[in-house]
Copies of this chain bind each other. A is one copy, B any other.
Amino acid sequence: MTDEFDAYMPELIETRRRIHRRPETGWTEFETTALVAQRLESLGFEVHLGLEVIDPERVMGRSAGEAQAAQERARRAGVPEELLARMGGYTGCVGVLRTGRPGPVCAFRYDLDALPITEPTDPASGHLPAVEGFASVFPGKMHACGHDNHAAIGLAVARWARDHEADLRGTLKLIFQPAEEGARGAAAMAARGVVDDADWLICGHVGTTAGPGELQIADRGFMATTKFDADFKGCPSHAGSCPEKGRSALLAAANAAVMLSAIPRTSQGDTRVAVGKLVSGSARNITPADAHMEFEVRGETAEANEFMTERAEEVVRGAAAMTGVGVDLRRVGQGSTLVTTQAALDLLYEAARAVPGMKVMAAPPCPGSEDCTVLMHRVAERGGNPGYFLFGCSHHGHHRPDFDTQDTVSDKPGFEMWVQVLKRILG
């Protein structure tokens, strides 16, 4: 049985696979931003790029060197100089469709970035992108979280809106956010004001707790989170001939890693602390002068996360002082808890029930983090209605080399859901 949405699917799938083949990690999405911008402009959207939608003062976890190198790669891949100039070194894009008729501002948010994971490319692996020939061509990078699906669906929604513009009122704002992984990009977009006029902000995700044929509406969940990088700076020495002259950054970081894990639990809500990376030292017999550590804390409530954040900073600075080592501690990511309104919940349930053949249900509270929550809080604080839903696929876990979304099955309900939401807000 075909319907009006089928016509959009070939382009959606092709776009998604085009993005999947050339995955770009956070703050390096120059090709993806260009693809989105060109498509939106061709559809008549007003397009804002890079520094127009990003406050560089609030950017977290961006490597200038990597951004520079990625820009070069994009240039070689044919991204027009004019677009790169408009971006100004920063990725991300917002497309606006003004109907000219009075009505609310309806914002949808999609994310663009991939992960530092190597995708299987051997068809014998059975991994669908490898079998069908759209696996990543960049070793060490992979869309293993479905942001490629999100971006492609966003563009299909753009086309649908253009096709049905006559039936709409108010303003549609499609936000394509960089650097969701690590919860790095949303704060810079929020600070630039991209959702400040939004009456509605709807966000969504493929997979996670939603299985095939399911649409889940979220009324709570996500942990608030703070991401940190710490660089300890000690003093080298020959560990045999003059250990007393050395100050081991490795020892400081090791003690910090243990004591971070030992921050007490809090009655303010469930918490997390994870030291995910530690790299220190050069030769076996040289007191390590440098240690790089990446860690994060989370809290079920803002208070709980704030507690963890403050204690973590105390621990890291104390661990350095304890061993006579210096430390550069930086917050490199920030996420909030999920916030929504009854109006948004009602609208999302109604929209979901209009998608044929789907099982509609409440989403279980998610212990992960999503930085669209930062945008959602901004909207809620200004009296708008933020909402969040999940559309399902089958998977063994996100962020894995074998992650796949079965796009030809999963993406149509996702696309339809967004259209149903759009119809209800701007219809």
State the A residues within 8 Å of B (CB): 115-116, 182, 223, 225, 227, 238-244, 246, 248, 250-251, 253-255, 257-259, 261-262, 264-288, 291, 294-296, 298, 307, 311, 314-315, 317-319, 321-324, 333, 366-369, 397-399
Chain B residues with CB under 8 Å of A272's CB are 239-240, 243, 265
Contacts of A398 in B (CB 8 A): 238
A321, B319: Cα distance in complex, Å: 9
Oligomeric state, in copies: 4
Q: Give the residue of B257, B269, B274, B284 whose beta carbon is less than 8 angstroms from that of A295.
A: B284
A319 to chain B, nearest CB (A): 6
Closest to A208 in B: B241
Which residue of B is nearest A298, CB measured?
B240
Q: Are A265 and B262 in contact (CB under 8 A)?
A: no
Given A319-B318, A399-B286; A274-B243 close (CB under 8 Å): yes
B279 lies within 8 A of A278 (CB): yes
Is there an interface contact between A278 and B250, defined as CB atoms closer than 8 Å?
A: yes
Which residues from B are CB-within-8-Å of A307? 244
Known: A223-B240, A240-B369, A258-B259. 12 other contacts (CB 8 A): A239-B276, A240-B274, A240-B298, A242-B266, A251-B261, A261-B262, A276-B283, A277-B282, A278-B279, A286-B399, A318-B321, A319-B322
Complex Cα–Cα for A315 and B247 (A): 12
Asked if A271 meets B278 with Cβ closer than 8 Å, knowing A240-B298, A254-B258, the reply is no
Judge whether A314 and B318 touch: CB under 8 Å: no
Q: In the assembly, what is the distance between CA of A18 and CA of B257, in Å?
A: 46
- Among B241, B264, B279, B369, the residue within 8 A (CB) of A279 is B279
Complex Cα gap A248–B278 (Å): 12
Please tell me if the beta carbons of A244 and B258 are within 8 angstroms of each other in the complex. Answer: no
A369 cross-chain contacts in B, Cβ below 8 A: 240, 285
* CB-based contact B284/A238 at 8 Å: no
Q: Are B367 and A241 in contact (CB under 8 A)?
A: yes
User: Which B residues lie within 8 Å of A261 (CB)?
Assistant: 251, 261-262, 264
For the complex of A and B, 6 pairs with smallest distance between CB atoms: A318-B322, A239-B274, A261-B262, A277-B281, A244-B266, A254-B254
Minimal Cβ-Cβ distance residue in B for A281:
B277
Q: How far is the CA of A279 from the CA of B239 in the complex (A)?
A: 19
Complex alpha-carbon distance, A295 and B281, angstroms: 10
Q: Which residue of B is nearest A262, CB measured?
A: B261
Q: Which residues of B contact A314 (CB under 8 A)?
A: 321-324
Q: Say whether B264 contacts A248, CB under 8 Å.
A: yes
Residues A251 and B257 in contact in the complex (CB < 8 Å), given A274-B284, A282-B277, A288-B276: yes
- Specify which chain B residues have a CB less than 8 angstroms from the CB of A273 in the assembled complex: 265
A265/B271 in contact, CB under 8 A: yes
CA distance A321 to B367 in the complex (A): 28
Complex CA distance for A116 and B281, rounded to whole angstroms: 12
A318 → chain B closest CB, angstroms: 3
A244 vs B255: C-alpha distance when bound (angstroms): 21
For this complex, 11 residue pairs linking A to B, each with C-beta atoms less than 8 Å apart, are A239-B272, A241-B366, A242-B267, A254-B254, A258-B262, A261-B261, A269-B270, A277-B282, A279-B280, A279-B281, A285-B399
Q: What's the minimum C-beta distance from A255 to chain B, rounded to whole angstroms? A: 6
Whether B238 and A399, one on each chain, are in contact in the complex, defined by CB atoms closer than 8 angstroms, is: yes
CA distance A257 to B253 in the complex (A): 10
Contacts of A277 in B (CB 8 A): 250, 280-284, 288
CB pair A282–B276 under 8 Å, yes or no, is yes
Q: How many angstroms between the C-alpha atoms of A38 and B270 in the bound complex?
A: 48
Chain B: CB-nearest residue to A315: B322
Of chain B, the residue at the smallest CB distance from A273 is: B265
Taking A282-B116, A296-B284 as contacts, is the C-beta distance between A250 and B271 under 8 angstroms? no
Q: Which residue of B lies closest to A275 (CB)?
A: B250
Residue of chain B at shortest CB distance from A263: B261
Residues in chain B near residue A246, CB distance under 8 A: 264
A229: nearest chain-B partner, CB-CB = B284
CB < 8 Å neighbour of A274 from B116, B276, B287: B287
Q: Which residues of B contact A276 (CB under 8 A)?
A: 239, 250, 281-288
